[in-house]
A and B are shown apart, each in its own frame.
Chain A
Amino acid sequence: GESVGLHLPTLSVQEGDNSIINCAYSNSASDYFIWYKQESGKGPQFIIDIRSNMDKRQGQRVTVLLNKTVKHLSLQIAATQPGDSAVYFCAEKENQFYFGTGTSLTVIP
């Protein structure tokens, strides 16, 4: 089976700082990647996606970087806010999606 993992299970950052959440994937044939945010009691919420023919994509306050050489994905959140506190996980797709277990981000006011 596929293996999608996260380097750190928890991350604490000061409000206003930038956050970086990392994800390793194992399938070099994966061609599509998504970052999701999951708040307590809610379903995963789509944040940003990236296709394998790209190495960077930017959204509103978020940037996803893809390094296919080392099979690594990262999510950067600029000027982290208390509302960003949640579990973040990545998903990779070849024929179907495989999801990581997530990193819990805590923003300290």
Chain B
Amino acid sequence: DSGVTQTPKHLITATGQRVTLRCSPRSGDLSVYWYQQSLDQGLQFLIQYYNGEERAKGNILERFSAQQFPDLHSELNLSSLELGDSALYFCASSAGGGGQNQPQHFGDGTRLSIL
């Protein structure tokens, strides 16, 4: 158990809809990272938050947004969903802000299926 909790485990919805994915980091970790993992592809970095502030942005679509709350949990919002958004979405956390060389610890992901 990594200590990172993601909910829900599965989401099935239709095109055009909006969903929210939730992540609780490991106790004491200040950074939260969001990744997308599609079939046969590596993890694609979406966005990082550190102690409530956006720290780094990757290949995140404009239809996607995220935030980190004062209690350090984070939410990833996906809107105007398209079939191609079907993927596994992972959250990871680390103690530092990303500049330090520390491992990220991952949750078990949310599997999003768009019908």
Contact = CB atoms under 8 A, between A and B. Distances in A.
Contact of B41 (A91, A97, A101): A101
Contacts, number: 55
B103 to A, nearest CB: 5
Nearest to A46: B103
Contact of A46 (B45, B58, B105, B109): B105
Contacts of A101: 40-42
Interface in B77-115: 90, 92, 98, 101, 103-109
Contacts of B42: 4, 89, 98-102
Given A44-B90, A101-B41, A102-B42, A34 B56 contact: no
Contacts of B48: 96
Q: Which 5 A-B pairs have the closest CB atoms?
A: A43-B106, A32-B101, A99-B43, A99-B42, A101-B42
Interface of B: 2, 4, 6, 33, 35, 40-43, 45, 48, 56, 58, 90, 92, 98, 101, 103-109
Interface of A: 4, 31-32, 34, 36, 41-46, 49, 51, 89, 91, 93, 95-102
